[in-house]
Amino acid sequence: MHSRWRFIPGLDQFGALLCLLLLSFLLAGLSGLAWPTLVGALANIAAVVAGFSATGLRDDRVRTGIFMSLAVIGFVLIGIFESTSIGGGIGASLQALALGAILGALVRRVLQHDSVTIATLMGVISAYVLIGLIFAWVYYALIGFRPAPVLDPPDTDLPVYFSFVVLSTLGFGDISPVDELAQRITALEAITGQIFLATVVARFVSMYGQDRPRGSR
């Protein structure tokens, strides 16, 4: 199932979404500079818009209005409040909820594909990146809500990097969760990453170019 919409000529919607998500990820560690912060914020907004369009969520005006409102309010709160404040924590939580809605719709959309194509694989990889970004926003939320340090070192630019290290189970050990709740969320993310890679991604890659069995749609 493919849409006629193209974010960039010749590039599938899922490809555009993946590019924007990766751009957001790369710029997240450069928040101390003016232009990366601005470009990163615009990439985040564009990724949310592309996510709603690529997954078909925009066709449901009620849900689109709700989750787009959450995303916008989240961006505003993050821009106004410090990341270590409750306001920043609320903003991060709203971002996680908006991306969670996109993730659920994306997985459902990919499962509707009759055959596994490049667009399907891009959708699956986009889902994997979304999982990492959602957990990163969860860590940001914890930093805002918890009075004690959440990560060691307590650098507010680290959660995105830390999230993907955990998701991919690399385990460098340069950053550690020191908050009890963060430790449990870290374990949950590692399990999620392993299961997603070993089942969903591996399954779709092995079926590239083939029609999917009717029972799995």
Q: Say if CB 73 and CB 65 are below 8 A apart.
A: no
Structure-model confidence comparison of residues 11 and 30, the more confident one: 30
Rounded (5°) CA angle 163-142-140? 50
Which run of H or E residues covers position 152?
strand 151-152
Taking only the tens place, the pLDDT of each residue in 155-211 is 777 899 999 999 998 888 899 999 999 999 999 999 999 999 888 888 888 787 777
Residue 143 reports pLDDT greater than 90: yes
- What are the residues facing 211 on neighbouring strands? 115
pTM of the model: 0.86
What mean pLDDT value characterizes the chain? Answer: 83
Taking only the tens place, the pLDDT of each residue in 106-133 is 988 888 877 888 888 889 999 999 999 9
The pLDDT value recorded for residue 8 is: 41
User: DSSP alpha helices (H): ranges in the chain?
Assistant: 13-27, 34-55, 61-80, 86-110, 118-145, 159-167, 180-195, 202-206
The two three-digit tokens of residue 151, written as one number: 């990560």
Q: Where are the domains of the chain?
A: 13-216
